[in-house]
């Protein structure tokens, strides 16, 4: 393989993995606490991307300092995640926690479809491009190859920051410990005084904000159009399943594995690039059905 | 202190508790004995709000527990140590014991004082306190679960089969801890379930026998169950 392609594939893979991680880690956090596989997560990602693009475009068009497009990305992500997360958890999921898992999955799938229609209604069908943040950061040279700094420095840096921050939050803050306790054993958490329902809301909103952050950060790098969310939810599900459901650190490594696998496929066997992430997932699950990083759950009677 | 009045619990098609009526006075130690599957665990879980009852009332210190959501029952001073320990393996032993007070936002000084008192009652915990909870043995885990329940249970402590699976030496130390507790906390009510009532000899001052979900008069029960 041409060394230039090798470097390019690696850089592409890292950049992509950073985005996938942000979405996957929220998905896995929500699953860990609530035991719900939240398909609507793809909708949070897509609406985060649309909202960020709209805000960036209006900042760019309004004769303001162009660097304000960066806080605009974060503001869009926070607002979309908080509002959608609260509405879906309080309005929908809260009523079905006692129901069987299949129904919960179908309800989040329905929410995903509704969010797709919301995108169509609000943003129409034409694609959006809001590339100012990428342009502003310019390019850096990595082993002689110019690559845009936004994707190869900013995105991985934010992903790392989220990973480290989340680990710190879960281990060293009271809210984090409470979330960890509910993840491990919901019932016992209740008997030590933890309000599991409140923990569900907080966790779901954190997960939703992370998904829409992924979307917002992706928005300057790609054309934003319908179908964005579906692609991302399937891929981040592959990451979460590969890592093991509920694994935060594992999701980072699995995202890297799948991101790199996909980008190498793009250069080497382009006809397989869509397939590679799922082949990795299937291979891992054949050998370790609980995922790479999860310990098989002890049976409780 | 704690009163169950004609409590019925159905889990699926099973009628697990049938008109269970019992009362535990302040400072009393009540034994709830019966075979496996008789409904001992379900009785304790119902008090904690983990199993839903279909009828009947449970009152605690004059409060109808219907009005108290399960996660607020610990704040009333009801501690619960489940049979299978259920420690949080992500935390250390001491973090497990302190978690209820952290959640309740007890002042640090108060929590430290309570913790010291628990360590005096169950001295084994002091040596274990820095260990990851996932690394302690099953028997030690039971001690930790007892310590955690004592931090919460200032008025009522529910212990589900505490001696189950304990090696004889540990069982003796667990029994010692319960006797120390009994001497130190005269107002505390205790409910202990056990399939082998001999283990509670000298500890319990009231015994309820439960058979197939029903509390039967103690004197008509066979003297050896389980």
CB A293 within 8 A of CB A247: yes
Residue numbers of the domain that contains B15: 2-219
Q: How far apart are CA A33 and CA A30, in angstroms?
A: 5
pLDDT at site B225 = 44
Q: Cβ A300–B84 below 8 Å, yes or no?
A: yes
Using a CB-CB distance cutoff of 8 angstroms, which residues of chain A are in contact with residue B48? 190-191
CA distances, A169 to each of A41, A174, A204, A206, B97 (Å) = 22, 8, 15, 12, 20
pLDDT value of residue B220: 46
Tell me whether residue B224 is in a domain.
Answer: no
How many angstroms separate the CA of residue A275 from the nearest CA in chain B? 36
Contact A184 B48 (CB under 8 A): no
Asked if A192 lies within 8 A of B95 by C-beta distance, the reply is: no
Q: Do B71 and A193 touch (CB under 8 A)?
A: yes
Nearest to B82 among A178, A180, A188 (CB): A188
Tell me the domain boundaries of chain A.
Answer: 3-287
B44, closest residue in chain A (CA to CA): A191
| Residue B194 three-state SS | strand
Q: Has residue B191 been placed in a domain?
A: yes
Residues A53-77, mean pLDDT to the nearest whole number:
94
Q: HSE on the CB side for A288, CA within 13 Å?
A: 16
| Partners of residue A182 in chain B, C-beta under 8 Å | none
Question: What pLDDT shows up at residue B224?
Answer: 46
What pLDDT is recorded for position B201? 81
Q: Tell me yes or no: is domain A3-287 CATH 3.10.20.
A: no
> Which residue in chain B is spatially nearest to A182 when comparing CA positions?
B88
pLDDT of residue B73: 96
Q: Residue-wise pLDDT tens for chain B (226 aa)?
A: 999 999 999 998 899 999 999 999 999 999 999 999 999 999 999 999 999 899 999 999 999 999 999 999 999 999 999 999 899 999 999 999 999 999 999 999 999 999 999 999 999 999 999 999 999 999 999 999 999 999 999 999 999 999 988 999 999 999 999 999 999 999 999 999 998 888 888 889 999 999 999 998 775 444 444 4
pLDDT at A75: 97
Cα of A131 vs its chain's centroid, Å: 20
B48/A191 Cβ within 8 A: yes
Query: Closest partner residue to B103 among A187, A188, A192, by Cβ?
Result: A192
Q: Which residues of A touch B72 (CB under 8 A)?
A: 193
Contact B80 A191 (CB under 8 A): yes
Find the angle CA(A172)-CA(A174)-CA(A180) to the nearest 5 degrees. Answer: 80
Q: Is residue B225 part of a domain?
A: no
Whole-angstrom Cα distance, residue A214 to residue A211? Answer: 5
- How many structural domains is chain B composed of? 1
| A149-188 residues touching B, CB cutoff 8 A | 174, 177-178, 180-181, 184-185, 187-188
Residue A130, CA atoms < 13 Å, CB-side half-sphere: 26
Nearest-CB residue to A190 (from B70, B90, B104)? B70
Question: Residue A297 has what pLDDT?
Answer: 53
Give the CATH number of the domain where residue B209 resides. 3.40.50.300
Strand partners of residue B64: B59
Chain B contact set for A174 (CB, 8 A)? 102-103
Determine, for residues B75 and A181 on separate chains, whether the beta-carbon distance falls below 8 Å: no
Please state, in angstroms and rounded to a whole number, the distance separating the CA atoms of residues A284 and A244.
10
Q: Give me the total of CB pairs closer than 8 Å, taking one residue from chain A and one from chain B.
A: 56
Q: How confident is the model over A156-180, as pLDDT tens digits?
A: 999 999 999 999 999 999 999 999 9
Alpha-helix residue ranges (DSSP H) falling in chain B: 40-48, 93-103, 108-121, 124-128, 138-152, 168-184
Query: What mean pLDDT, rounded, does chain A reach?
Result: 93
Q: How many CB atoms lie within 10 A of CB B145?
A: 26
Rg value, chain B, Cα: 17
Place A292 in a pLDDT band, splitting at 50, 70 and 90.
Answer: confident
- B91 contact residues in A (CB cutoff 8 A): 177, 180-181
Q: pLDDT band for position A299 (50/70/90)?
A: very low
- Map tokens 């030496």 to a residue: B169
Question: How confident is residue A298, by pLDDT bands cut at 50, 70 and 90?
Answer: very low
Give the closest of A185, A188, A193 to B103, CB-based. Answer: A193
Is the pLDDT at A295 greater than 80? The verdict is no
* Cβ-based neighbours of A75, under 8 Å, separated by 6 or more: A55
């Amino acid at each position: 393989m041409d060394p230039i392609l090798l470097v390019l594939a690696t850089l592409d893979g890292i950049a992509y993995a950073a985005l996938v991680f942000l979405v996957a880690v929220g998905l896995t956090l929500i699953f860990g606490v609530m035991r719900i596989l939240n398909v609507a997560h793809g909708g949070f990602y897509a609406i985060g991307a649309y909202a960020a693009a709209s805000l960036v475009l209006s900042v760019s068009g309004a004769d303001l300092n162009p660097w304000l497009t960066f806080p605009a990305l974060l503001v869009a992500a926070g607002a979309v995640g908080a509002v959608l997360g609260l509405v879906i958890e309080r309005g929908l999921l809260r009523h079905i926690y006692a129901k069987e898992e299949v129904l919960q999955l179908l309800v989040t799938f329905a929410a995903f479809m509704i969010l797709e229609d919301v995108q169509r209604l609000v943003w129409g069908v034409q694609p959006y491009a809001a590339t100012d943040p990428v342009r502003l950061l310019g390019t850096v040279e990595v082993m002689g190859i110019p690559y845009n700094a936004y994707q190869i420095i900013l995105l991985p840096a934010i992903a790392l920051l989220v990973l480290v921050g989340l680990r710190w939050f879960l281990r060293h803050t009271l809210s984090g410990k409470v979330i960890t306790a509910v993840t491990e054993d919901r019932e016992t958490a209740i008997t030590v005084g933890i309000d599991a329902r409140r923990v569900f809301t907080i966790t779901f909103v954190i997960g939703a904000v992370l998904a829409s952050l992924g979307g917002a950060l992706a928005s300057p790098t790609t054309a934003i159009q319908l179908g964005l969310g579906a692609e991302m939810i399937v891929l981040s599900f592959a990451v979460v399943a590969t890592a093991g459901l509920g694994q935060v650190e594992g999701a980072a490594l699995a995202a890297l594995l799948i991101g790199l696998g996909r980008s190498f496929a793009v250069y080497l066997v382009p006809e397989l690039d869509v397939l590679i992430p799922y082949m990795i997932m299937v291979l891992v699950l054949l050998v370790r059905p609980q995922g790479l990083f999860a310990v098989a759950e002890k049976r409780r009677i | 202190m704690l009163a169950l009045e004609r409590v019925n619990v159905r889990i699926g098609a099973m009628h697990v508790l049938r008109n269970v009526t019992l009362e535990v006075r302040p400072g009393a130690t009540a034994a709830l004995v019966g075979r496996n599957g008789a409904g001992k665990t379900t009785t304790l879980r119902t008090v904690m709000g983990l199993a839903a009852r279909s009828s009947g009332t449970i009152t605690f210190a004059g409060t109808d527990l219907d009005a108290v959501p399960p996660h607020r029952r610990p704040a009333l001073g009801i501690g619960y140590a489940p049979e299978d320990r259920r420690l949080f393996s992500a935390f250390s032993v001491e973090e497990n014991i302190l978690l209820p007070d952290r959640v309740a936002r007890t002042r640090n000084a108060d929590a430290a004082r309570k913790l010291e008192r628990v360590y005096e009652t169950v001295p084994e915990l002091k040596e274990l306190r820095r260990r990851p909870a996932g690394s302690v043995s099953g028997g030690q885990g039971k001690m930790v679960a007892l310590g955690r329940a004592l931090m919460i249970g200032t008025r009522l402590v529910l212990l589900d089969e505490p001696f189950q699976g304990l090696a004889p030496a540990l069982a003796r130390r667990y029994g010692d801890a319960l006797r120390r507790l009994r001497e130190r906390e005269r107002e505390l009510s205790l409910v202990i379930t056990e399939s082998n009532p001999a283990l509670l000899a000298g500890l319990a001052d009231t015994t309820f026998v439960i058979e197939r979900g029903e509390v039967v008069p103690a004197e008509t029960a066979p003297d050896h169950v389980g």
